């Protein structure tokens, strides 16, 4: 091997109040899969944005192929041979695959040639795609293929992948890794960003570990244990949550034949979802994003009403009741989107208690709000869940992701729910906050509440739940006990064998 493909030396980038990258250096060789490992907020995204020309570094230099590399725009980055697959897809739902691909190219060929080339590339790399399909109709895995194909058409020397597996089923992950290994074999370098340790150990040649914006370690991941990598990443040992067992109680929540049409053009329909949860139990519902998780939460929280008899709490039919009566009855929920759904970004933490606790906590009597009580309740959440904030007068959007998530989950837990439904409780949250939240959910169940955890993070579900089911295209598989469930079994539940065949047949 000659000189490395990319050298980053002493790169620093600061935002007001935070240094996102401090003196970061790393080297990526030709045909190497290099992992960039770090927690949420460790500075991975900033580094990647600098590589892709979206952000300019304050200091330091980058060298690509022995030439100084200072991309002023994504276009310049693409021309220099750097392609990127985004974590939050940079796709346009209403446009078709070919149009989406064309938008990511500096100089796209005419439409007919482009469609032909998309088909060629997608066949060469095992990424089946139809150029004429509307992107909004595609599954998460297919959407990622569009992004990858878009990059590959630019014949990149360096491919950046930001958390590519978070939206994939285990089988899809295997397919993706095959593609990436093919690329590596052709000499393409890959910068692979993730916080999933096992994947990195399976795929990557080298790893750079970031913490608080600084490089804290370089290693060959296959030679390190996952535990050691985790310790480098988080900076300390985290104890797995403890789960005090309790005897299964009576059925708390019963869902029977719950079906709902999709809420909007690109939404998912719920199809005959049935399950029940008992007191003291945590059930996990896994699945790749966009398979009906949001829709299921809305149907349970009361934001959308369903047919009579479909949602029953302790024998009382709540199907036709909105969120407030359901809360009063004891069915509480915490949605996935912290800002804008669980909390209003521009309102203070005190004000945000009123969103879900006005009735159940008696913060409003005969319509008149008791702002003093709201402030007390907010202070209670802050204290109990160790929310780092100047005080209850702070606006929600001023909090970091982890702190706000602790706040919104805490707001529901402290209301002493009979049943609590949470959707992606630790998505985009740092490891310490995630551990706090998981422990709080287990403690809640230990006190006799029923807890439903909807999550994409299978490790999380294995850790906290007693029973597991998969939500796929709005259908819920039967529940199975978590203990003894293997990854491949989960994969089959998630994908459904027939769905994988369908994906290949495209």
Partner 1 sequence: MDLSAISPELMVASLMVASTPLLLAALGELVVEKAGVLNLGVEGMMITGAICGFAIAVESGSPVLGFGAAALGGAALSMVFGALVLGLLSNQVATGLALTLFGLGLSSLVGQSYVGIKPPSTPRLDLGPLSDLPFFGRAFFSHDWMVYASLALTVAVWWVLNRTRTGLTLRAIGENHDAAHALGLKVLGYRLAAIAFGGAMAGLGGAYLSLVRVPQWTEGMTAGAGWIALAIVVFASWRAGRILIGAYLFGGLTVLQLNLQAAGVALPVEYLSMSPYLVTILVLVVMSRRKGRSTAAPASLGKPFHAQA
Partner 2 sequence: MIALEKRAQPSRVWAWATPLLAVILTLVAGGLMFAVLGKDPVAALRTIFYDPLFDAQFASYSRPQLLVKAAPLILIATGLALGFRAGIWNIGAEGQYIIGALCGAGAGLALYPSDSPLIFPMMVLAGALGGWLWAMIPAILKTRFHTNEILVSLLLVYVAENLLASMAVGTLRNPDGGGFPGSRNLSQWPAAANPELIPGTGAHWGVVAAIIAVIFAYILLQKHLLGFHIRLAGQSPRAARFAGVVPERLVIFCLGLSGALAGLAGIFEATGPAGQISIDFNVGYGFTAIIVAFLGRLHPIGIVLAGLLMALTYIGGELASFMLGIPIAAIQAFQGMLLFFLLAVDVLTNYRIRLGRREVRA
- Residue 86 partner contact from partner 2, partner 1, none using kind-dependent CB cut-offs of 5 to 8 Å: partner 1
**Residue 335 interacting partner from partner 2, partner 1, none (CB closer than 5 to 8 Å by kind):** partner 2
Those residues whose C-beta lies under 8 Å from the C-beta of residue 337, and which sit 6 or more positions away, are none
Piece of the chain touching partner 1 by CB under 8 A; list 53-61, 246-254, 366-374, 487-495 = 53-61
Euclidean distance between CA atoms 66 and 3, whole angstroms: 8
Q: How distant, in Å, are the alpha carbons of 59, 100, 277, 339, 474 from that of 285?
A: 45, 32, 12, 23, 12
> What residues numbered 255-274 form the site for partner 1, per CB under 8 A?
265
Nearer to partner 1, 92 or 187 (CB): 92
With CB under 8 A as the contact rule, the residue among 59, 94, 238, 487 that binds partner 1 is: 94
Give me the least distance between CB of 427 and partner 2, in Å please. Answer: 16
Tell me the window of 23-31, 74-82, 280-288, 299-307 that interacts with partner 1 (CB under 8 A): 74-82
Binding mask 303-322 for partner 2 (x = CB under 8 A): x------------------x
Contacting residue, 259, 395, 400, 439, with partner 2 by CB under 8 A: 395
Q: Is 216 in the site for partner 1 (CB under 8 A)?
A: no
CB count in 10 Å sphere of residue 317: 13
- 289 touches partner 2 by CB under 8 A: no
Minimum Å distance from CB 362 to partner 2? Answer: 12
Task: For residues 206 and 286, give the distance between their C-alpha atoms in angstroms, rounded to a whole number.
Answer: 31
134 binds partner 1 (CB under 8 A): yes
Angle at 417 between CA 415 and CA 419, to 5 degrees: 155
Residues near partner 2 (CB under 8 A), total: 38
Phi and psi at 390, nearest 5°, equal -60, -30
Binding partner 1 (rule: CB under 8 A), the pick from 95, 289, 462, 492 is 95
Q: Please give the full DSSP string across 389-458, using - where no structure is assigned.
A: SS-TTSBGGGS-HHHHHHHHHHHHHTT--SEEEEESTTTT--HHHHHHHHHHHHHHHHTT-EEEEEES-H
Tokens representing 171? 């089988």
The item of partner 2, partner 1, none sharing an interface with residue 417, based on CB under 5 to 8 Å by kind, is none
Return the structure tokens found at 134: 């509307």
Stretch of 58-66, 73-81, 255-263, 465-473 lying at the interface with partner 1 (CB under 8 A): 73-81
Within residues 355-394, the interface with partner 2 by CB under 8 A covers 355-356, 358, 364, 367-369, 394
**Cβ atoms < 10 Å from Cβ of 493:** 21
Half-sphere exposure of 490 (CA within 13 A, CB side): 23
Pairing of strands 158-162, 189-194: parallel
356 touches, from partner 2, partner 1, none (C-beta below 5 to 8 Å by class): partner 2
* Closest among 107, 133, 135 to 119, alpha carbons compared: 133
Tell me how far, at minimum, the Cβ of 416 lies from partner 2, in Å.
Answer: 19
- Taking residue 397's Cβ as centre, other Cβ atoms within 10 Å add up to 14
The Cβ of residue 463 has, within 10 Å, a number of other Cβ atoms equal to 19
Residues 398-417 that bind partner 2 (CB under 8 A): 398
- Residue ranges in contact with partner 1 by CB under 8 A: 15, 53-55, 73-75, 77-78, 86, 89-95, 99, 102-104, 108, 134, 136, 265
């Amino acid at each position: 091997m000659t000189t490395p493909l990319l050298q980053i030396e002493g790169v620093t980038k600061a935002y007001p109040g935070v240094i996102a990258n401090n003196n970061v250096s790393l080297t990526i060789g030709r045909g190497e899969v290099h992992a960039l490992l770090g927690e949420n907020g460790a500075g991975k995204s900033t580094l990647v944005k600098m590589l892709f020309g979206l952000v300019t570094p304050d200091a330091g230099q980058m060298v690509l192929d022995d030439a100084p590399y200072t991309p002023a725009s994504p276009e310049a980055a693409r021309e220099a041979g750097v392609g990127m697959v985004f974590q939050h897809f940079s796709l346009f739902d209403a446009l078709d695959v070919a149009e989406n691909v064309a938008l990511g190219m500096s100089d796209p060929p005419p439409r007919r040639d482009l469609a032909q080339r998309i088909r060629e590339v997608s066949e060469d790399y095992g990424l089946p795609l139809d150029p004429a399909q509307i992107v909004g109709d595609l599954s998460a895995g297919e959407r990622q293929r569009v992004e990858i194909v878009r990059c590959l058409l630019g014949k990149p020397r360096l491919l950046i992948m930001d958390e590519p597996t978070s939206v994939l089923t285990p089988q899809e992950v295997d397919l993706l890794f095959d593609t990436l290994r093919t690329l590596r074999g052709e000499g393409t370098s890959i910068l692979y960003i993730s916080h999933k340790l096992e994947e990195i150990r399976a795929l990557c040649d080298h790893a750079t570990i970031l913490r608080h914006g600084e490089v804290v370690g370089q290693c060959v991941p296959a030679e390190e244990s996952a535990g050691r990598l985790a310790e480098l990443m988080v900076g300390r040992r985290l104890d797995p949550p403890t789960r005090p067992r309790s005897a299964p109680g009576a059925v708390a929540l019963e869902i029977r034949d719950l079906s709902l049409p999709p809420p909007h053009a690109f939404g998912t329909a719920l199809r005959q979802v049935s399950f029940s949860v008992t007191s003291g139990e945590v059930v996990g519902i896994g699945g790749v994003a966009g398979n009906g998780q949001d829709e299921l939460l809305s149907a349970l929280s009361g934001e959308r009403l369903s047919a009579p008899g479909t949602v029953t709490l302790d024998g009382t039919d709540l199907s036709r009741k909105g969120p407030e009566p359901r809360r009063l009855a004891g069915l509480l929920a915490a949605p996935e989107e912290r800002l804008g759904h669980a909390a209003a970004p521009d309102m203070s933490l005190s004000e945000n208690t009123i969103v879900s606790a006005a009735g159940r906590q008696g913060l409003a009597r005969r319509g008149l709000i008791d702002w003093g009580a709201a402030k007390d309740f907010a202070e209670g959440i802050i204290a109990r869940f160790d929310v780092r904030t100047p005080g209850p007068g702070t606006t929600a959007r001023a909090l970091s992701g982890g702190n706000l998530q602790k706040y919104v989950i805490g707001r529901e837990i402290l209301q002493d729910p009979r049943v609590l439904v949470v959707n992606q409780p630790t998505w985009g949250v740092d490891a310490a906050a995630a551990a706090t939240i998981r422990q709080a959910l287990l403690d809640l169940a230990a006190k006799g509440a029923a807890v439903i955890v909807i999550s994409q993070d299978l490790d999380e579900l294995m850790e906290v739940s007693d029973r597991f089911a998969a939500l796929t295209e709005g259908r819920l598989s039967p529940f199975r006990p978590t203990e003894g469930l293997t990854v491949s079994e989960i994969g089959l539940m998630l994908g459904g064998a027939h769905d994988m065949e369908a994906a290949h047949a495209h």
